[in-house]
Amino acid sequence: MAKYNISQELRERYKKGTKFLGCDIPIMGGAMTWVSEKNLVSAISNAGGFGIIACGGMEKEVLRDEIIKTKEMTKKPFGVNLILMHPDIEELMNTCVETGIKYVVFAGGFPKKSQIEKLKNYKIKTLAFATTLSIARKLIKNGIDALIIEGSEAGGHVGPVSTNVLVQEILPFIEDVPVFVAGGIGRGEVFLNYIDLGASGCQIGTRFVCAKESIAHKNFKDIFIRSEARNAQVSIQLDERLPVIPVRGLNNKASNIFIQKQKEVLNDLNKGEVSLKEAQLIIEKFWSGSLKKAVIDGDVEYGSLMAGQSVSMVKNIQTAKEIIYEIITQADVKLNKQIEGYRN
Condensed to tens digits (0 to 9), the pLDDT of residues 16-60 reads 999 999 999 999 999 999 999 999 999 999 999 999 999 988 999
Residue 156: closest CA among 306, 312, 314, 257: 306
Asked whether residue 343 is assigned to any structural domain, the reply reads no
**Res. 242: pLDDT tops 90:** no
Q: Residue range 89-117: average pLDDT?
A: 97
Asked whether residue 115 is assigned to any structural domain, the reply reads yes
- Binned at pLDDT 50, 70 and 90, residue 340 comes out as confident
**Res. 212: pLDDT tops 90:** yes
Residue 178 φ/ψ, nearest 5 degrees: -65, 145
H-state helical runs in 7-112: 8-13, 15-21, 38-46, 60-73, 89-98
Asked if residue 259 and residue 324 are part of one domain, the reply reads no
Asked whether residue 272 is assigned to any structural domain, the reply reads yes
Asked whether residue 306 is assigned to any structural domain, the reply reads no
d(CA 152, CA 79): 23
Q: Which pLDDT belongs to residue 244? A: 60
Asked if residue 194 and residue 276 are part of one domain, the reply reads no
Asked whether residue 3 is assigned to any structural domain, the reply reads no
Listed in sequence order, the residues at least 6 apart from 231 whose beta carbon sits closer than 8 Å to its beta carbon are 250, 251, 307, 311
130-189: per-residue pLDDT in tens?
999 999 999 999 999 999 999 999 998 888 899 999 999 999 999 999 999 999 999 999
Asked if residue 285 and residue 144 are part of one domain, the reply reads no
How much of the chain, in percent, has pLDDT values that exceed 70?
Answer: 98
Q: Which pLDDT belongs to residue 247? A: 84
Asked if residue 81 and residue 178 are part of one domain, the reply reads yes
pTM: 0.93
Asked if residue 30 and residue 115 are part of one domain, the reply reads yes
Q: Which pLDDT belongs to residue 31? A: 97
d(CA 2, CA 4): 7
**Res. 1: pLDDT tops 80:** no
**Res. 277: pLDDT tops 90:** no
Asked if residue 209 and residue 131 are part of one domain, the reply reads yes
Residue 209 φ/ψ, nearest 5 degrees: -60, -40
Which range of residues forms the domain containing residue 257? Answer: 218-295
Asked if residue 191 and residue 48 are part of one domain, the reply reads yes
**CA-CA distances (angstroms) from residue 305 to 47, 83, 109, 129, 158?**
26, 20, 23, 23, 14
For the chain, the maximum distance between any two Cα atoms, rounded to a whole number of angstroms, is 71
**CA-CA distances (angstroms) from residue 98 to 7, 120, 339?**
39, 14, 47
Q: Which pLDDT belongs to residue 57? A: 86
Q: Which pLDDT belongs to residue 10? A: 97
Number of domains the chain contains: 2
The mean pLDDT of the chain is 94
User: How many other CB atoms sit within 10 Å of the CB of residue 263?
Assistant: 12
- The sign of the torsion formed by the CA atoms of 4, 153, 334, 168 equals negative
Tell me, rounded to whole angstroms, the distance of Cα 15 from its chain centroid: 21
